[in-house]
Amino acid sequence: MKTVSVSEAREQFSSFINWAAQNQDDVIIQNRGQAKAVLIPYIDYQLLQIAREQQRKKKAIAELKQIAQEVRSRNQMVAPDEAERIADEVTREAIDNLVTQGKVIFEK
């Protein structure tokens, strides 16, 4: 890992890019002694993006599970077959709307 000031980074930017790529290591850019940014090899950036996407998906799944639990607790009196009928009705309505809007076309 290499640490440089903003002024050094500005003056030697391409050399720090090359250093990070060749060494597969980070360049920390500081402003007045505080880290403000990091120049990382592209492969590390790709891994970071994958990790962020996985985290986003986990969060979305957790939120959906919470919503499902809340819906179940509010609708305890609805029988499973009635819930299935309602779900089919909502699905059919959504598909009909998509067909009407021309966003979904079924072959005949």
Average pLDDT over residues 50-75: 91
**Within 10 A of 3 (CB to CB), how many other CB atoms are there?**
13
Superfamily of domain 2-40: YefM-like domain (3.40.1620.10)
Spatial distance between the Cα atoms of 71 and 50, rounded to a whole number of angstroms: 31
Structure tokens at 19: 């250093």
Contact 28, 6 (CB under 8 A): no
Query: Per-residue pLDDT tens for 65-105?
Result: 999 888 888 878 888 888 888 888 989 898 889 889 988 78
CA-closest candidate to residue 37, choices 66, 4, 62, 68? 4
Predicted TM-score of the model (pTM): 0.57
Spatial distance between the Cα atoms of 103 and 108, rounded to a whole number of angstroms: 16
